[in-house]
């Protein structure tokens, strides 16, 4: 069940959203929970919508819904392939600002080309229906993956293979001048192979774009917001990095660092750098990871490392074997997916020519991880 307010995925029996605490409406749930395989057509697609797009896409079933639209599984007729189709609700189509945000979302996301970011194929307007198509990711959300996997427990290489892929997606987006602003487990998909794809740049904003939203408007999912985002302040790449730290803590430990169910309770947890201090005390983490996450979750955004720095620390010389997700097979964790864990290959011996670079990298990592007591 998806929250109409923030888009968070919740259990079918939930009464309140685990992301923002809003009451959940069950009126729009799919009518048949047992139906859901690619290629199946279900009655949760409005017939008027199906007919409007029938010349290009055969809509099959609802995948999810959020504040900025509904997502359907469809078959693109010209190429005979499955795609995800995001559609702006007809009730919002008459609002020029919402249409502008919706189209802007598609254009921003389409600028990003990275293996760990969902690819946007096309943007269209047919009979007053605004939509765009993107890759259909046949997997589960990171939250669902962790809930299944933690019964057996994630190994450190498995956890870091997941986290690194998310960090690489953010680093690429930031290098392109785009911030996500709503990174959370529900917006990260894990395929049976272990490949990770970051979804829904619906709240993304170009670093150079100051229009559409003002600095005093709070957008995002409260449990994965930075302190400055909760306060309605300016949001930039450092806010994404804070969310990455919260997400990494969740992957490492199987529990969310922020536990509040209301915005005031969450704000209280952030008081006096609460998340950073909690990460520093987490017994489940190694000392190096406690230090890294405490820096990533620093309440002062100016002191946080960048996503690129995060990657460099996590995939340093001693962690090179897990930097590539293909080195750690995550298949077999999901129900009905064959596969087994494959030992990570040994780190190759660096060539003499690479030694000066590695020495500089190690020194940079050491400086980054030093606690600033000032």
Residues annotated as catalytic are 182
Query: What is the rounded distance in angstroms from the CA atom of residue 296 to the CA atom of residue 245?
Result: 6
- Could you give the CA distance from residue 321 to residue 344 in angstroms, rounded to a whole number? 6
Query: Which CB contacts under 8 angstroms, 24+ apart, belong to 359-362?
Result: 361/312, 361/316, 361/317, 362/316, 362/317
Q: Where are the beta strands (DSSP E) in the chain?
A: 57-66, 69-76, 81-87, 120-126, 129-135, 140-141, 178-179, 188-190, 196-198, 205-206
CA-based Rg of the chain, rounded to a whole angstrom? 21
SS (H, E, C) 96-159: HHHHHHHHHHHHHHHCCCCCCECCEEEEEEECCEEEEEEECCCCEEHHHHHHHHCCCCCCHHHH
Give ∠ CA 155-185-310 in degrees, rounded to 5.
Answer: 65
Measured CA angle at 350 (ends 349, 353), to 5 deg: 150
User: CB count, 10 Å around CB of 336?
Assistant: 5
In order of 29, 35, 61, 110, 248, the CA distances from 39 in angstroms are 19, 10, 9, 26, 34
| DSSP classification of residue 217 | -
For residues 65 and 28, the answer to whether their CB atoms sit within 8 Å is yes
């Amino acid at each position: 069940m998806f929250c109409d307010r923030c888009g968070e995925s919740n259990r079918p029996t939930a009464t309140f959203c685990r992301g923002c605490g809003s009451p959940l409406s069950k009126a729009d749930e799919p009518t048949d929970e047992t139906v859901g395989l690619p290629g199946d057509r279900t009655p949760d697609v409005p017939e008027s919508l199906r007919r409007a797009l029938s010349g290009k896409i055969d809509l099959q079933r609802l995948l999810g819904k959020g504040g900025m639209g509904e997502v359907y599984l469809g078959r693109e007729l010209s190429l005979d392939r499955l795609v995800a189709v995001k559609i702006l609700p007809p009730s919002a189509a008459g609002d020029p600002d919402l249409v502008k945000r919706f189209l802007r979302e598609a254009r921003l996301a389409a600028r990003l080309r990275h293996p760990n970011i969902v690819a946007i194929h096309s943007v269209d307007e047919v009979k007053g229906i605004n939509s765009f198509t993107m890759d259909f990711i046949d997997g589960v959300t990171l939250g669902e993956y962790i809930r299944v996997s933690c019964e057996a427990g994630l190994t450190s290489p498995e956890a870091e293979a997941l986290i690194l892929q998310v960090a690489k997606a953010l680093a690429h987006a930031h290098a392109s001048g785009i911030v996500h602003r709503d990174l959370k487990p529900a917006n990260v998909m894990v395929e049976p192979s272990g490949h990770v794809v970051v979804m829904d740049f619906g709240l993304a904003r170009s670093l150079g774009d100051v229009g559409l939203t003002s600095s005093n408007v709070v957008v995002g999912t409260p449990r994965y917001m930075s302190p400055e985002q909760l306060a309605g302040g300016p949001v930039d790449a450092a806010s994404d990095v804070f969310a990455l730290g919260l997400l990494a803590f969740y992957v490492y430990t199987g529990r969310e660092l922020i536990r509040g169910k209301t915005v005031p309770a969450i704000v209280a947890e952030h008081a006096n750098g609460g998340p950073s201090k909690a990460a520093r005390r987490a017994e489940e983490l190694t000392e190096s990871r406690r230090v890294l996450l405490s820096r990533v979750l620093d309440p002062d955004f100016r002191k946080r490392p960048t996503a690129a720095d995060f990657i460099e620390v996590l995939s340093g010389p001693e962690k090179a074997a897990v930097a590539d997700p293909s080195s750690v097979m995550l298949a077999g964790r999901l129900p009905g997916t064959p596969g087994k864990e494959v030992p990570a290959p040994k780190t190759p011996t660096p060539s003499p020519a690479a030694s000066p670079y590695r020495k500089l990298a190690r020194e940079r990592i050491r400086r980054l991880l030093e606690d600033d007591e000032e």
